[in-house]
Chain A
Amino acid sequence: EPEVTQTPSHQVTQMGQEVILRCVPISNHLYFYWYRQILGQKVEFLVSFYNNEISEKSEIFDDQFSVERPDGSNFTLKIRSTKLEDSAMYFCASSQGGAVGAFFGQGTRLTVV
């Protein structure tokens, strides 16, 4: 069964450093998303990406965040200068489009120290 793959599963970084979280969505999917879940809180939408551009982003997705689909298969989330409050589980998701529901990866646990 096709699945969304995220790497790494865990990442520890120092405050102020840049991190790149990587995702390989399901191959025939057209819509890509990043969500995050701070420990003990709800899963929050960060950004959606379609047709090689951002289609929607939340208030959380400020200038320190960026997304890219560099080679037609990977989908990355870059956090330019990490803060302690960026510590969270980050989920990548993809969907074929329409209201079919998104498929989620296993997540990357980011810890900023």
Chain B
Amino acid sequence: AQSVTQLDSQVPVFEEAPVELRCNYSSSVSVYLFWYVQYPNQGLQLLLKYLSGSTLVKGINGFEAEFNKSQTSFHLRKPSVHISDTAEYFCAVSEWNYKLTFGKGTLLTVNP
């Protein structure tokens, strides 16, 4: 069965600093990988996805993630964060059935 581990439950950073949110997954088969963002009192919004091909994927709002098969990781990065990036970020994995398995989430707090 697939599983996702988000290593940090909370990540506080200062505005304009770079950030990396870590995600590791386990699966016995090929997977598709996703990052979703949840702003306060809102639903889940798709940030980016890795399906195949280039291991570096770019998403909305300046975020990118790199798929590393040997390390079974899919870390999310942004070179310079804004106050408005404060939100909960969820890494998710799916297999052939497209059912999403989520990590516990990382709360990113951007401070001025």
A-B contact count (CB 8 A): 59
Which of B19-27, B36-44, B60-68, B70-78 lies on the face that meets chain A? B36-44
Contact-residue bracket for chain B: 20 to 34
Q: What band does the interface of chain A fall in when counting residues whose beta carbon is under 8 Å from B?
A: 20 to 34
Contacting pair B44 A43 (CB below 8 A): yes
Instruction: Contact check, A45 vs B99: say whether CB atoms are below 8 A apart.
Output: yes
Contact: A42 with B49, CB < 8 Å? Answer: no
Stretch at the interface among A65-73, A74-82, A93-101: A93-101
B contact residues vs A (CB 8 Å cutoff) = 32, 34, 36, 42-46, 49, 51, 90, 92, 94, 97-105
User: Which residue numbers of A lie inside 8 Å of B, CB to CB?
Assistant: 4, 6, 31, 33, 35, 41-45, 48, 55-56, 91, 93, 95, 97-107
